[in-house]
């Protein structure tokens, strides 16, 4: 395949308090075999050789599992490929002369740190509020003493595959984190280990989500469409049921 | 005669750990809150240790370079985690897991450590299940197992192809719980840039806040380094982009010995390099070799598409060279054989650095559906990256650096040669010898974090006065100044080559001369080449931007500077170890059938290097390995 020329429009912003703007770069010699992030590497090499500051973007494993990378590519979280993180997107999805617009996640709860990098620590704080089973090291009973129907284990696993990248928030017009929260709540609600804290968990995580400034869910399902891990909106339905049940039986 | 005290307790192998635990000193519950512990790295080892120590009542500070503790590279492990549960009733036991691991490591690890690893493996599974880790289950609701390399029993627990992710999220959730309780404080986006020692013990670290650029001092009564391996010395590896040797190397330069740095595992089935822009490599599970046949064209430079190359023009070189094991030879053998063919000019693909892994016969014999059921997700991932359909054309694969068995030297307590500095997980050297078996890395990380360090760190703390040395101590001042000096130097060079270009060049030297096969001449050349590259780096690197802001180039620059020093030590170690064992293959030391030839008479030891100064030769210490419970045998695959 032949190398392409592409036009990049990239959001540049020096820091959280400074004003950002799109800056345009032309990049020649883009191989269709490159991953999207490798294309950005090539751009950065070019910028460095011109003594310009390279574009800041978050990335680590480049295998689609760590959840570091997150870019709005032509208005789509993680770009045009279904169930694919930005790091697993390849340039063969683009063609000669394409204009590509690259932005950071846009959400009030994810302030921009620099260029394409945002602060997603709000997701950690939601996890701190209840995304765990309270078990200390050394306290565990024999693993096979708890029997879990395969279907429940599989459904729980489907929810547990969330990589915490925040694409669901970025894709949502309300910047809601409901898909993220519902994945963790579902994982534990489907397992016997999660039962003792089932009610408090969902209440605490939802409360924290609200405090962090994430929006509400209006069932547009953009989150599911953008999710690189394929987390289903069925989990949001389960989250709503869990939350209502918890509120009705709340002892608070 | 050695300065290395392994502190392996006396007594029968099976009782050592229990007896040792009984003798370790304890910190009373009401005193634990007086102690501060630093944990660097939040992968399986780090997150497990930080959460467990927090639960016990210590004040823990946990550091990671990622934006969240959940993203450490343990998350990328695919296959599974071993444990000696014997649920399949196929005769597994703690002894067998111990024996397989020590044999798999080609008899270059410590018996007592490996036995303890096997012993606590079952507790790990219990712990993870209780945390809500969704392991694969049978229809009856009990846990499922599968088979992995190097074992004749099914002892691998798994969560589809994402076992590492699920285990790490389990440890991370335990960690988050402690954060909420105020027992652990997590410092994300921090690079540990140096270790601070005072009065003969580790007392703290210097970190750089990667958002503001500020240097920070953190004091503690013990420091746990859980920062993973050094595979990125090769530039291209299956490691994450940020994985680095800096924390371990800085500890080494402050007095911690570095053990067996030449032991590197190169995995045979990875998606090959596709161009100069390549930034990392992606693993394809070795289970594919159960049904895939590896081949290259018989004729040099045969550019026909693979489907047009007839059977008689194909060289199934693994089946030819190893008729008994065929395509299922161990990782090190398969890797070297692929390199051999490509170096000789038979490689395929645009770059000529790949071999075919062909499923045609398997699909003909078993049907596409059966193959899809076994490997569907891997085929999908391959297609996403290469845009080729492996159901129709053979996969192109090539070996890649995957795991590093060497690491900071630790004793039985996982304590380094610096008192109070503990090293856990891939960052230490202790359990895998010269070659790690599949599904054992997750086991070791969690064993060290959940079930070993909580006991042994307490033993150290019980003999330490809490808070003896604070961040106002002179040692913090002088180390911070050194760190600042290094940063200022890197930023001031303003040469005309990028950090990455140096890293790539180092990687090429390492891969060519300290990779799958090494020889004395190549290693000597590599040492010289690395030295001149290091010299060029400090003259001509261009680190853009400032130190007092988020600066990814500066982050990389510090890491590459350390790899440029560390790479030399890897080559030195490879040169000094005049034998072949596990992943360390010295071309001069092989059998007539090209197998690794161990020299138990002269090299049945751990090599632990002591730093002497930037321009001085390091000292190579030896810890003799005593095998009292197993017999040293030759691994054979014929």
What class has domain B474-605? Answer: mainly alpha
Is residue A186, in this structure, part of any structural domain at all?
yes
What is the pLDDT of chain B when averaged over all its residues? 94
Catalogue the active-site residues of B. Answer: 331
Q: What is the mean pLDDT of residues B68-87?
A: 94
Pair A107, A124 in one domain:
no
* Together in a domain, A89 and A157: no
| Chain B residues within 8 A of A49 when measuring between CB atoms | 496, 498
What CATH number corresponds to the domain at position A98?
A: 3.10.20.30
Residue A64 and residue A32 in one domain: yes
- Reduce the DSSP state of residue B547 to 3 states and report it: coil
Whether A124 and A233 share a structural domain: yes
d(CA B107, CA B598): 9
> Is A50 within the bounds of a domain?
yes
Task: Find chain B residues with C-beta within 8 A of A33's C-beta.
Answer: 274-275, 386-387
**Which ipTM score applies to this complex?**
0.98
Q: What residues in A contact B180, CB-CB < 8 Å?
A: 128-129
Query: Which parts of A95-235 are beta strand (E)?
Result: 99-103, 112-114, 117-118
Facing A140 at nearest CB: one of B71, B127, B142: B127
- 8 Å CB contact of A129 and B131: no
Q: Which of B424, B382, B304, B517 is nearest to B44 (CA)?
A: B424
What is the average pLDDT across B150-154? 80
Q: How many domains does chain A have?
A: 2
Interchain CB distance below 8 Å, B134 and A187: yes
- Angstroms from A167 CA to nearest CA on chain B: 15
Q: Judging by beta carbons within 10 Å of its beta carbon (0-12, 13-18, 19+), is residue B465 exposed, middle or buried?
A: exposed
User: Is the confidence at residue B128, as pLDDT, over 60?
Assistant: yes
Residues A66 and A129 in one domain: no
Instruction: Write down the domain spans for chain B.
Output: 266-402, 474-605
Would you place residue B1 in the very low, low, confident or very high pLDDT band (cuts 50, 70, 90)?
A: very low
Whether A46 contacts chain B with CB within 8 A: no
Q: What is the pLDDT of residues B433-483, one digit of tens each?
A: 999 988 899 999 999 999 999 999 999 999 999 999 999 999 999 999 999
Residue A84 lies in a domain: yes
CA distance B64 to chain A (A): 13
When comparing pLDDT for B383 and B73, which is higher? B73
Residue B330: the pLDDT is 74
Q: How far apart are CA B110 and CA B1, in angstroms?
A: 18
Rounded distance, CA B127 to CA A62, Å? Answer: 30
DSSP letters, A79-90, are -SSTT--GGG-B
In a domain, A140, yes or no: no
A139 within domain boundaries: no
Those residues of chain A that have pLDDT short of 50 are none
In sign, the C-alpha dihedral spanning B422, B423, B429, B435 is positive
Which of A117, A124, A150 is the closest to B138 by Cβ? A150
Picking from B569, B558, B575, B574, the residue whose alpha carbon sits closest to that of residue B614 is B569
- Asked if A27 is an interface residue toward chain B (Cβ–Cβ < 8 A), one would say no
Structural domain includes residue A180: yes
Number of cross-chain residue pairs from A and B with Cβ atoms under 8 Å apart: 215
Residues A86 and A170 in one domain: no
The answer to whether the Cβ–Cβ distance between B66 and A127 falls below 8 Å is no
Q: CA-CA distance, B483 to B316, in Å (whole number)?
A: 53
Contacts of B373 (CB under 8 A, 6+ apart): none
Percent of chain B with pLDDT over 90: 84
Q: Do the domain assignments include residue A142?
A: no
Alpha-carbon gap, residue B152 to B328, rounded angstroms: 14
List A residues 113-132 in contact with B (Cβ-Cβ < 8 A). Answer: 113-114, 117, 119-121, 123-124, 127-129, 131-132
Does residue B322 surpass a pLDDT of 90?
no
Residue B209 and residue B222: Cα distance in Å, rounded? Answer: 21
Q: Which CATH number fits domain B266-402: 2.60.40.1180, 3.30.2310.20, 1.20.1560.10, 3.90.700.10?
A: 3.90.700.10
The predicted structure's pLDDT at residue B638: 65
User: Which pLDDT tens digit goes with each residue over B401-435?
Assistant: 999 999 999 999 999 999 999 999 999 999 999 99
Q: How far apart are CA B247 and CA B229, in angstroms?
A: 10
Same domain, A110 and A129: no
Across the interface, of B130, B275, B387, the residue whose CB is closest to A141 is B130
Same domain, A49 and A161: no
CA distance B16 to B22: 10
**Residue A54 and residue A84 in one domain:** yes
Alpha-carbon distance A191 to A184, whole Å?
A: 11
How close are the terminal C-alpha atoms of chain A, in Å? 64
- What pLDDT sits at residue A252? 63
- Do A180 and A231 share a structural domain? yes
In whole angstroms, give the CA distance from residue B430 to residue B22.
22
Q: Is residue A143 part of a domain?
A: no
SS3 call for B605: strand
Mind telling me how many Å the CA of B588 is from chain A's nearest CA?
36
Residue of A nearest to B70 (CA): A66
Instruction: Assign residue B213 a region (left: φ > 0; alpha: ψ between -120 and 50; beta: otherwise).
Output: left
User: Which strands form B619-624's sheet, in the order they lie side by side?
Assistant: B407-408, B258-259, B605-610, B619-624
Query: What is the span of the domain harbouring residue A185?
Result: 120-134+148-249
CA distances from A131 to A21, A98, A123, A179, A201 (A): 37, 42, 10, 14, 7
pLDDT, tens digit, for every residue of B554-598?
999 999 999 999 999 999 999 999 999 999 999 999 988 778 899
Over residues B362-369, the mean pLDDT reads 93
Q: Indicate if A29 and A105 belong to the same structural domain.
A: yes
Q: Residue B161 above 90 pLDDT?
A: no
| Cross-chain Cβ contact B550/A187 below 8 Å | no
Subunit contact A121:B131, Cβ cutoff 8 A: no
Calpha distance B190→B193 (Å, rounded): 9
Sign of CA dihedral A228, A231, A233, A239: negative
Same domain, A85 and A126: no
Say how many Å lie between the first and final Cα of chain B, rounded.
39
Check residue B3 and give its pLDDT.
Answer: 83
């Amino acid at each position: 395949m032949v190398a392409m020329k592409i036009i990049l429009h990239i959001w540049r912003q020096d820091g959280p308090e400074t004003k950002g703007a799109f800056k345009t770069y032309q990049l020649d010699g883009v191989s269709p075999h490159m991953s999207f992030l490798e294309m950005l590497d090539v751009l950065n090499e070019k910028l460095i050789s011109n003594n310009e500051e390279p574009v800041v973007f978050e990335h680590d494993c480049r295998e689609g599992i760590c959840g570091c990378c997150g870019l709005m590519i032509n208005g789509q979280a993680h770009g045009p490929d279904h169930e694919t993180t930005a790091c697993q997107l390849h340039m063969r999805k683009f063609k000669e002369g394409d204009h590509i617009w690259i932005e950071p996640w846009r959400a009030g709860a994810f302030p921009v740190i620099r260029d394409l990098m945002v602060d997603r620590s709000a997701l950690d704080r939601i996890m701190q509020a209840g995304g765990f089973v309270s078990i200390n090291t050394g306290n565990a009973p024999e693993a096979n003493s708890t029997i879990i129907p395969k279907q429940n284990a599989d459904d729980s696993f489907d929810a547990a595959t969330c990589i915490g990248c925040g694409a669901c928030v970025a894709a949502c017009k309300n910047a809601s984190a409901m898909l993220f929260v519902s994945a963790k709540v579902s994982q534990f609600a489907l397992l016997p280990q999660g039962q003792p804290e089932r009610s408090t968990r969902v209440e605490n995580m939802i409360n924290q989500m609200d405090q962090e400034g994430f929006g509400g869910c209006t069932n547009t399902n953009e989150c599911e469409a953008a999710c690189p891990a394929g987390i289903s909106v069925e989990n949001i339905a389960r989250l709503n049921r869990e939350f209502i049940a918890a509120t009705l039986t709340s002892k608070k | 005669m050695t300065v290395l005290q392994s502190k392996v307790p006396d007594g029968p192998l099976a009782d050592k750990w229990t007896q040792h635990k009984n003798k370790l000193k304890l910190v009373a519950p009401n005193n634990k809150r007086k102690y501060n512990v630093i944990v660097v790295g939040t992968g399986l080892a780090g997150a497990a240790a930080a959460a467990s120590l927090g639960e016990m009542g210590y004040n823990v500070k946990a550091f990671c370079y990622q934006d969240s503790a959940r993203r450490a590279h343990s998350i990328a492990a695919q296959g599974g985690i071993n444990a000696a549960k014997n649920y399949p009733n196929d005769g597994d036991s703690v002894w067998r897991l111990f024996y397989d691991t020590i044999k798999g490591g080609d008899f270059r690890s410590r018996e007592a450590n490996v036995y303890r690893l096997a012993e606590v493996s079952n507790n790990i599974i219990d712990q993870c299940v209780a945390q809500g880790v969704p392991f694969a289950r049978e229809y009856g609701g009990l846990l499922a197992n599968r088979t992995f390399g190097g074992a004749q029993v099914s002892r691998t627990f798994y969560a589809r192809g994402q076992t590492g992710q699920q285990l790490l999220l389990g440890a991370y959730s335990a960690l988050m719980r402690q954060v909420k309780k105020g027992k652990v404080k997590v410092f994300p986006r921090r690079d540990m840039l140096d270790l601070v020692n005072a009065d003969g013990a580790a007392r703290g670290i210097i970190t750089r806040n990667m958002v503001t650029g500020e240097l920070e001092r953190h004091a503690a009564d013990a420091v746990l380094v859980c920062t993973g391996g050094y595979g990125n010395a090769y530039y291209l590896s299956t490691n994450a982009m940020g994985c680095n040797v800096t924390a371990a190397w800085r500890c080494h330069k402050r007095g911690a010995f570095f053990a067996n740095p030449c032991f590197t595992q190169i995995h045979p089935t990875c998606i090959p390099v596709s161009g100069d822009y390549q930034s990392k490599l992606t693993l394809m599970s070795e289970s594919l070799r159960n049904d895939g046949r590896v081949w290259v064209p018989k004729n040099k430079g045969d550019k026909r598409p693979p489907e047009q190359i007839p059977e008689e023009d194909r060289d199934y070189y693994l089946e030819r060279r190893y008729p008994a094991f065929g395509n299922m030879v161990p990782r090190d053998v398969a890797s070297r054989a692929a390199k051999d063919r490509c170096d000789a000019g038979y490689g395929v693909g645009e770059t000529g650095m790949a071999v075919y892994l062909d499923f045609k016969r398997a699909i003909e014999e078993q049907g596409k559906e059966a193959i899809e059921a076994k490997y569907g997700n891997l085929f999908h991932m391959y297609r996403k990256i290469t845009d080729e359909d492996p159901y129709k054309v053979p996969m192109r694969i090539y070996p890649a650096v995957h795991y590093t068995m060497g690491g900071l030297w630790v004793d039985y307590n996982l304590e380094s040669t610096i008192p109070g500095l503990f090293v856990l997980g891939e960052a230490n050297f202790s359990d895998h010898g010269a070659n790690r078996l599949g599904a054992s890395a997750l086991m070791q990380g969690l064993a060290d974090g959940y079930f070993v360090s909580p006991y042994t760190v307490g033993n150290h703390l019980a003999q330490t006065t809490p808070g003896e040395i604070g961040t106002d101590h002179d040692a913090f001042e002088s180390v911070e100044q050194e760190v600042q000096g290094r940063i200022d130097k890197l930023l001031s060079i303003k040469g005309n080559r990028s950090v990455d270009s140096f890293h790539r060049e180092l990687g090429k030297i390492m891969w060519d001369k300290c990779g799958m096969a090494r020889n004395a001449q190549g290693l000597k050349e590599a040492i010289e080449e690395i030295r001149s590259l290091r010299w060029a780096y400090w003259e001509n690197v261009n680190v853009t931007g400032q130190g007092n802001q988020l600066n990814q180039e500066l982050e990389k620059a510090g890491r590459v500077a350390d790899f440029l020093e560390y790479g030399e030590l890897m080559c030195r170690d490879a040169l000094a170890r005049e034998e072949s064992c596990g992943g360390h293959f010295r071309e001069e030391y092989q059998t007539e059938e090209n197998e690794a030839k161990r020299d138990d008479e002269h090299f049945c030891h751990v090599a632990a290097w002591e730093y002497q100064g930037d321009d001085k030769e390091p000292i190579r210490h030896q810890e003799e390995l005593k095998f009292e419970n197993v017999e040293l045998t030759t691994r054979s695959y014929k």
